[in-house]
Amino acid sequence: MFGVVEGPANRPDAKEEKAPPKAKPRLPANLIHFIDCNQGAVRAVRFNGDGNYCLTCGNDKSIKLWNPEKQMLIKKYTGHGYDVLDAASSNDNCQIASCGSDKSVMYWDVASGQIIRRFRGHAGRVNCVQFNEESTVILSGSVDSSIRAWDCRSKKGSAIQIMDEAKDSISALQVSDHEILSGSIDGKIRRYDLRIGSMHSDNIGSAITSTCFTKDGQCTLTSTHDNTIRLLDVATGEMLGEYMGHKNAKYMIECALNRKDDHVISGSEDGHIYMWDLVEASVTKKLLVKRNKVIHSLSMHPEKDVMLVACENKIYMFADDFYELPDNIA
């Protein structure tokens, strides 16, 4: 004998229980304002460590420090000989690392605007720069196919380590507490484990424009020149997701994850910002910034659902539905 399972069909007066509605994702999809940086083309925009300020890198050879909420310029840093291509803030926000087309890496004092160290050694344009976790070492990636590590505390100008396994230009860098993640135009992402001195590579097969870890460090998100973003498992190299619909075939387009790591966000060569559901890989939002212009650089606030993106000579600030400007801002 089979037992009778009571359900809506056996109890006409009972209502079928419905699953609770899926919570609406908190995405930085509302344009708050934009800032004309007056730096020519803005090559990169980066929040600092606590998200209160941001850095913009210009093709006028300058770096600018902003309060993006107040649209206020705090300080301008000059000293590079050509375009500044990337910058990063130290953990305590007291120093800046920058790099550019003049083949140099610079270490700045934020308050005085003075150059503390100027590191030379790359044979070509330096595309990306990052601090290590303690902000004692600067790592830089160049078109000379190498990653170089520079000791901020040493008065010597030479690199303390050179990683030259790539066969083409280094296009992206990220540093965790024990790993260095790099992307290269040769189509490979490489992970250097600082604890055991090993290197692991995954072949994506197309030129890489951007790569980053998920917050738990278990996956990598990589954007490539075949109009695709891929989510890979760090341990196995297995592809967990593919995100398409945007255009990325020519320029260095950056991708990122939102604060909760449940959405993939990317710029595009068609003037839009695309947002995909991480699991379903479906486009959740498509935001127009400037039609047919390249949205190449983006930076996510470390604690809020706020995003900065760069397009031509401006940066644009986006936030979620719950964001409110501080009271002292008109």
Q: What is the three-class DSSP state of 278?
A: coil
pTM exceeds 0.85, yes or no: yes
CB contact at 8 A, 84 and 124: no
Query: In CATH, what number is assigned to the domain containing residue 64?
Result: 2.130.10.10
* Bridge partner list, 108: 96, 115
Does the residue 22 lie in any domain?
Answer: no
d(Cα 313, Cα 119) in Å, to the nearest integer? 28
Does the residue 244 lie in any domain?
Answer: yes
pLDDT at 22 over 80: no
Quick one: pLDDT at residue 232? 96
d(Cα 128, Cα 87) in Å, to the nearest integer? 8
Does the residue 6 lie in any domain?
Answer: no
Does the residue 178 lie in any domain?
Answer: yes
Does the residue 21 lie in any domain?
Answer: no
Domain count for the chain: 1
Residues 296-330: tens digit of each pLDDT: 999 999 999 999 999 999 999 999 998 887 765 54
Does the residue 156 lie in any domain?
Answer: yes
d(Cα 315, Cα 296) in Å, to the nearest integer? 11
Name the nearest CA neighbour of 277 among 24, 6, 90, 54: 24
pLDDT at 183 over 90: yes
Averaged pLDDT of the chain? 91
Does the residue 221 lie in any domain?
Answer: yes
Residues 145-154: tens digit of each pLDDT: 999 999 999 8
Does the residue 8 lie in any domain?
Answer: no
CB contact at 8 A, 231 and 220: yes
* Residue span of the structural domain in which 282 resides: 27-319
